[in-house]
Amino acid sequence: MEQTDTIARDTARATETRKVFVKTYGCQMNVYDSQRMSDALAADGYEPTQTIEDADLVLLNTCHIREKAAEKVYSELGRIRDLKNERAAEGRQMVIGVTGCVAQAEGDEILRRAPAVDLVVGPQTYHRLPAVVRRARAGEKVIETDYAREDKFDHLPQPDRKIVRARGVTAFLTVQEGCDKFCTFCVVPYTRGSEISRPVAQIVREAERLVEGGVREITLLGQNVNAWHGEGVAKGGSTREWGLGELLFRLAQIPGLARLRYTTSHPRDMDDALIAAHRDLEQLMPYLHLPVQSGSDRILKAMNRKHTADDYLRLVDRIRGVRGDIAMSGDFIVGFPGETDEDFEATMKLVREVDYAQAFSFKYSARPGTPGAEMKFHVEERVKDERLQELQALLTNQLEAFTQSRVGMEMDTLIEKPGRRDGQIVGRSPWLQPVILDETVGRIGDIVRVKVLSAGRNSLFAEPV
């Protein structure tokens, strides 16, 4: 049976290539998932296209974190429905799929609101996508939002070397999924499920394949990446429980892998080994995204963050104590239910104390099914707007000051891609800033030592030293 299936698939591959258009919303984990979905579909004869009009299959890989993100999907589905109808008039089929967190959270509600959709697949079942697409092509409406019992990563094919190369010299690698923290504002524990960590051997194999394909920098991903844990093997062959710190040490041994990053972390899961990795691993870049969400202990408690403002500040001090040049990045929510002017002031105070290099700030958005949505004293939209503006003005000042502080510095830059202007090439600083260089400086994938001559808002202009 399995063999017949393989033969049928190979024949399909030989005779027709179909095109898939994937649009990705939301976080980096969705970017990674979109690539893995494309890889799974490539084995079934689907080639990626950037032109939606050419697509036989359109996938929207969606985000549910805030209301705005989810609503964007429905307006896009309206536009795609018109395209589907135009194609149908020409006698051609266009299959429309919704994947990702909206798929998981809303399931068959999506088919009710957008009947042009043919398939809905949640993040835990991407490995079943080719089979689901085949059923949808045959006219069935398919919903797959169960939590699969099998490990999807065991069933997802790895991209071949050519595809890895085409994706560039930096890559994402999901090592952990889901979250058990249950912050009261957040849908993630419901859409992505409880925490799972991928096994060490699986991660190392995937990282090695990426490096063989020309990747120089890997960013390890997880909704709660520093909660990753797994069974590691010591030199003598004995096994021991590892955390993310130990995993980073292991990955740093892969020859040719020049840079490592990880995101997103929870303050409670920054353990000693991870802090030591920031001290001892030259491959680990001096940049840490460590969301705090609020500077008020009262609000942090209501958010169920499991840390105080002071815990966070002391943690930042410890990390800076071992890696003085680390750039701090964070996430903030303003207008959580019950947030007073005083609470907001505490957030501003914390931001001034930490002095962020980069930050993301949002107005609280009530998400159905989360405890926050049921809380009393929701903050007026106007007040949320004012607070967001004030916070963002401060964070922008800090970002610009951080960028300016790089002028005159010498640093390593990983060359990533051609620049927007002729004759330019763009690299990445250790602190994630784009570095604009003359194209003669090196080739994509090279790490070159440069001196920064001037800076824009977030980008640096440099020349080789």
How many Å apart are CA 49 and CA 64, to the nearest integer?
25
Order of strands, sheet of 142-144, starting from the edge strand that comes earlier in the sequence: 46-48, 18-24, 57-62, 95-100, 119-121, 142-144
Give the residues lining the site for ligand 5AD (CB under 6 A).
Answer: 65-66, 185-186, 291, 293, 331, 333, 362, 364-365, 367
**91 conformational bin, left if phi > 0, alpha if psi -120 to 50, beta if neither:** left
How many Å apart are CA 246 and CA 286, to the nearest integer?
17
Q: How far is the CB of 330 from ligand 5AD (least distance, A)?
A: 8
Q: How far is the CB of 168 from ligand 5AD (least distance, A)?
A: 24
Nearest to 361 by CA among 342, 341, 343, 335: 335
Q: Taking CB under 6 A as the rule, which mask of x and - marks residues 180-219 in contact with ligand SF4?
A: -xxx--x-xx------------------------------
Q: Which one of the spans 175-183, 253-261, 361-369, 452-460 is the region binding ligand SF4 (CB under 6 A)?
A: 175-183
Nearer to ligand 5AD, 213 or 291 (CB): 291
Q: How far is the CB of 106 from ligand 5AD (least distance, A)?
A: 16
**Among ligand 5AD, ligand SF4, none, residue 219 binds (CB under 5-8 Å by kind):** none
Residue 134 structure tokens:
């085949």
End-to-end CA gap in the chain: 62
Q: How far is the CB of 364 from ligand 5AD (least distance, A)?
A: 5
Nearer to ligand 5AD, 228 or 249 (CB): 228
Would you call the peptide bond into 264 cis, given omega within 30 degrees of 0 as the criterion?
Answer: yes
**Among ligand 5AD, ligand SF4, none, residue 249 binds (CB under 5-8 Å by kind):** none
Which of 84, 128, 216, 266 is the binder for ligand SF4 (CB under 6 A)?
Answer: 266
Q: Which one of the spans 85-93, 135-143, 178-186, 381-389 is the region binding ligand SF4 (CB under 6 A)?
A: 178-186
Nearer to ligand SF4, 130 or 372 (CB): 372
**Among ligand 5AD, ligand SF4, none, residue 181 binds (CB under 5-8 Å by kind):** ligand SF4
Q: How far is the CB of 19 from ligand SF4 (least distance, A)?
A: 34
Nearer to ligand SF4, 24 or 191 (CB): 191
**Among ligand SF4, ligand 5AD, none, residue 182 binds (CB under 5-8 Å by kind):** ligand SF4
Asked whether position 18 contacts ligand SF4 by CB under 6 A, the answer is no
How many Å apart are CA 104 and CA 147, to the nearest integer?
10
Spatial contact of 176 and 195, defined as CB atoms under 8 Å apart: yes
**Among ligand 5AD, ligand SF4, none, residue 66 binds (CB under 5-8 Å by kind):** ligand 5AD
What residue is closest to ligand 5AD based on CB?
331
Q: How far is the CB of 293 from ligand SF4 (least distance, A)?
A: 7
Nearer to ligand 5AD, 185 or 312 (CB): 185
Q: How far is the CB of 152 from ligand SF4 (least distance, A)?
A: 19
Nearer to ligand SF4, 60 or 183 (CB): 183
With contacts defined by CB under 6 A, how many residues of the chain interact with ligand SF4?
Answer: 10
Cβ–Cβ contacts within 10 Å for residue 36, how many?
20
**Among ligand SF4, ligand 5AD, none, residue 65 binds (CB under 5-8 Å by kind):** ligand 5AD
Q: Taking CB under 6 A as the rule, which mask of x and - marks residues 216-235 in contact with ligand SF4?
A: -------xx-----------
Q: How far is the CB of 223 from ligand 5AD (least distance, A)?
A: 9
**Among ligand SF4, ligand 5AD, none, residue 189 binds (CB under 5-8 Å by kind):** ligand SF4
**Among ligand 5AD, ligand SF4, none, residue 266 binds (CB under 5-8 Å by kind):** ligand SF4
Nearest to 100 by CA among 173, 8, 31, 172: 31
Q: For the chain, what is the radius of gyration of the CA atoms?
A: 23
- Residues of this chain that interact with ligand SF4 (CB under 6 A) are 179, 181-183, 186, 188-189, 223-224, 266
